[in-house]
Structure 1
């Protein structure tokens, strides 16, 4: 009999899953934190692309949790823009089952509380409706997001690509504790749902204590950054800063820091395992 302790959900990255013993523990909330262009978005894209293939073909291994649903939730981008970026970045051979990924767009609610003209983010037919809504109490992005997440099947994979935007919005509104409470609640309920979450955050926008508080509220922090090599060539690096229940095993095997490359044919890959300094 397989218990939740020895089951796992693969990330889909064939070069990284073996490091985790096949995948990540069920219900992991994973912060993908990094500099602009360092690979955090490509990591999430590659993961959902390969998981869409795994979902299509299945797995005979009873320890493997195949996502019941793959969701990509955005607050500021359009579904069409995300799909176009994926199609431009990756080989068509990888995208044969991209339709298995469902995209959810909460930008209307996000922009309703801003000064951005309605016509910039809503279709013409929706403008009158959105103008009426702007005159009323604004919907909360977090409450709408919470309702959306509650309707997603258990044992799913969910990417929330807009933690940076949500964080800055709550800082400006003076409601930072609302966001951190939401993250801690998400970390708790993810275990009940056996659902894995990626939260994407651009490094350097929050101050240090806010970034630390976000990191403390999640199960894992994967840091993406640029490093200069001895030949003065820039190299993307993935560094696992924290992973509850996993980190002690990674440190024991000295497997926490990796060189990274991104190609159209294979997406995000890790290589050259680094020794802990």
Structure 2
């Protein structure tokens, strides 16, 4: 069995290196409880393994287990978030030094424009001339990123036959004309179109189906954009989706919730076949309990992030609700909620106590 690390040091140590490749793990999080911090940490630390391996070893304090590989590449999919660059986003969780070094190793898929096109939010609110602005004082010069260390402690995903060819991911969506966020550029820019062309476009849009062909319409194109990005990214890589529950904010006639669940279920089958690890951030209070349960049922594992209640101080807790191979690797008395902490390497489990 080949494992891939989360990038969260103490959790990976408990799991003997990580989780099996081919896993899709839901990060169900209360506001501020750590789920998004977990995703930021995972993306940054795993990217650091390819952009600055010496720093990866220093900060992550590697895992010395056979059969553990780091992802071939890291992809971060933002569904609706538009505030600042990816580097600025990562700096909310990890040190500015790690964020700057890791950003070059992350492919950022910003789907926010396609998302907001389906809403009544004014274009000027989410369209910016310079979306990649950096934090003051952060050196992003290419020379600041050290070359990868030749003495890499891990094999990389491509060495075990993972599917990482971008051409495979691009082929499926292009033939059918789906999955391109810029499909409506002409209309947004005010370019006049013939009436026949408009009618044909409307007909094509109405005919869009979800990943399993159930006929759900996708008039906003956001599911098509998400499908295209995932088809390109999945295969021996780490993929973060932030956040799948943003889709519930859109009108029912635009994106039906059952279509979102089917998309996630289809994604789980795709990742099982191609390998890699996908983390799906879900804001627990943005959807109902049955909706959250449907997302959990569509994935291979669920980590729950919540605030500890009671006492004079709040504490972030991580509960392992379901995780591939976790029961085989953890002692029975370790299957509990763990207190977590934040440091310059981002989110990690605390070595202070375990919540029974």
Question: Unpaired runs of 5+ in structure 1?
Answer: none
Q: Does 1:105 align with 2:110?
A: yes
Asked whether the equivalents of residues 10 and 348 of structure 2 are also in contact (C-alpha less than 8 Å), the reply is yes
Asked whether the equivalents of residues 109 and 229 of structure 2 are also in contact (C-alpha less than 8 Å), the reply is no
Q: Aligned partners of 1:172 and 1:250: how far apart in 2?
A: 44
Alignment of 1:93-132 (within 5 A): 93-95=97-99, 96-123=101-128, 129-130=187-188, 132=190
Which of 317, 338, 341 is the equivalent residue of 1:261? 341
**CA 1:89–1:30 in 2, change beyond 3 Å: closer, same or farther?**
closer
Q: Aligned partners of 1:117 and 1:92: how far apart in 2?
A: 32
**CA 1:22–1:88 in 2, change beyond 3 Å: closer, same or farther?**
closer
Q: Aligned partners of 1:68 and 1:91: how far apart in 2?
A: 23
Which of 65, 71, 83 is the equivalent residue of 2:69? 65
How big is the shift at 1:70?
Answer: 0.3
Question: Which shifted more, 246-255 or 63-72?
Answer: 246-255
SS of 2:258 mapped into structure 1 = helix
SS of 2:26 mapped into structure 1 = strand
SS of 1:50 mapped into structure 2 = helix
Q: TM-score, normalised by structure 1?
A: 0.85
Q: Does 1:51 align with 2:132?
A: no
* Larger Cα-atom Rg: 2
How big is the shift at 1:121?
Answer: 2.0
List per-residue Cα deviations over 1:170-206 (Å, max 9, x = no partner): 6564722211111110111111111211111111221
Asked whether the equivalents of residues 79 and 103 of structure 1 are also in contact (C-alpha less than 8 Å), the reply is no
Asked whether the equivalents of residues 41 and 346 of structure 2 are also in contact (C-alpha less than 8 Å), the reply is yes
Asked whether the equivalents of residues 113 and 127 of structure 2 are also in contact (C-alpha less than 8 Å), the reply is yes
Q: Aligned partners of 1:14 and 1:46: how far apart in 2?
A: 10
Q: Aligned partners of 1:212 and 1:259: how far apart in 2?
A: 23
Asked whether the equivalents of residues 250 and 256 of structure 1 are also in contact (C-alpha less than 8 Å), the reply is no
Q: Which residue of 2 aligns with 1:178?
A: 259
What is the number of equivalent residue pairs in this alignment? 267
Q: Which residue of 2 aligns with 1:31?
A: 26
**CA 1:62–1:120 in 2, change beyond 3 Å: closer, same or farther?**
same
Q: TM-score, normalised by structure 2?
A: 0.68
**CA 1:37–1:128 in 2, change beyond 3 Å: closer, same or farther?**
same
Asked whether the equivalents of residues 234 and 275 of structure 2 are also in contact (C-alpha less than 8 Å), the reply is no
SS of 1:15 mapped into structure 2 = helix
Asked whether the equivalents of residues 33 and 221 of structure 1 are also in contact (C-alpha less than 8 Å), the reply is yes
Q: Which residue of 2 aligns with 1:239?
A: 319
Q: Aligned partners of 1:113 and 1:50: how far apart in 2?
A: 34
Question: Unpaired runs of 5+ in structure 2?
Answer: 57-61, 130-181, 192-197, 206-218
Q: Aligned partners of 2:269 and 2:305: how far apart in 1?
A: 25
Asked whether the equivalents of residues 257 and 273 of structure 1 are also in contact (C-alpha less than 8 Å), the reply is no
**CA 1:184–1:203 in 2, change beyond 3 Å: closer, same or farther?**
same
